[in-house]
Homo-oligomer: A and B are copies of this chain.
Amino acid sequence: MHYSSFLNYINKYIDLTEKEIAFLRSNTNYKKYLKGHYIVQQGAVCKHTNFIISGCTKNFYVDQQGQEHIVTFAIENWWSADLSSFITQTPSDFNVKCIEATEVIQFTYQNQDEIFQNIPKMETLFRKLLEKALVSSQKRIVNNFSLSAKDQYLYFKKQFSTIEQRVPQYMVASYLGITKEFLSKIKTELAKD
């Protein structure tokens, strides 16, 4: 069943009783998106937090010049949403789009609230996930400041080699905040060694 990979994931961090599992199941739902489809669109409210069972998404922002800036990728066993829009339930500045066909377990703001109230362990888990996400977000800011584009690329490669193999190169460039032309240049330079 679709839920098993979700429950396996949860199980790595906390122990749930049968009752709690049933409660979780009744407060989430499964959804499948096709490649290229949007889970969240700029201007719309982000209704769900999504746990990815399979597939790959990008969370990105389109600036005034029409340029796309990728904030995060997400693959199996990661969470994907526009957090800002989700927690405030106001229109989003970001898009979440499927780079591959993507299966998710999703829950609404209300679902989340009820889950936290009924299964406090779940709130603890989320608190810890947020802590980790904030740490890596801050790490990214520091890298932006202190590493050259080349070193940032190498860091990305090391950290997310699976993702690099699944997304087109111009998206990696967008994630790194450089042009696709410059990333291409960096790669040919690196290949010389």
Chain B nearest CB from A189 CB (Å) reads 21
Residue A146, interface by CB 8 Å: yes
> Which of A83, A130, A145, A146 neighbours the largest number of chain B CB atoms within 10 Å of its CB?
A145
> Could you list 29 examples of A-B contacts with CB < 8 Å?
A61-B142, A67-B146, A69-B142, A71-B141, A71-B142, A72-B138, A83-B135, A84-B139, A87-B128, A87-B131, A87-B132, A116-B124, A123-B123, A123-B124, A123-B127, A127-B127, A127-B130, A130-B130, A130-B134, A133-B134, A134-B134, A134-B137, A137-B137, A137-B141, A140-B141, A141-B141, A141-B144, A144-B177, A145-B177
Nearest B-chain residue to A60, judged by Cβ:
B142
Chain B nearest CB from A79 CB (Å) reads 11
How many protomers of this protein does the assembly include? 2
CA distance A141 to B72 in the complex (A): 10
Q: Mark A64-96, 1 if CB is under 8 A from B, else 0.
A: 000101011000000000011001000000000
**Contact pick for A146, options B69, B72, B87, CB 8 Å:** B69
B-binding residues in A (CB < 8 A): 61, 63, 67, 69, 71-72, 83-84, 87, 116, 120, 123-124, 126-128, 130-135, 137-142, 144-146, 177
Residues of B within 8 A of A137 (CB): 134, 137-138, 141
Residues of B within 8 A of A126 (CB): 127
CA distance A138 to B87 in the complex (A): 14
Residues of B within 8 A of A135 (CB): 83-84, 87
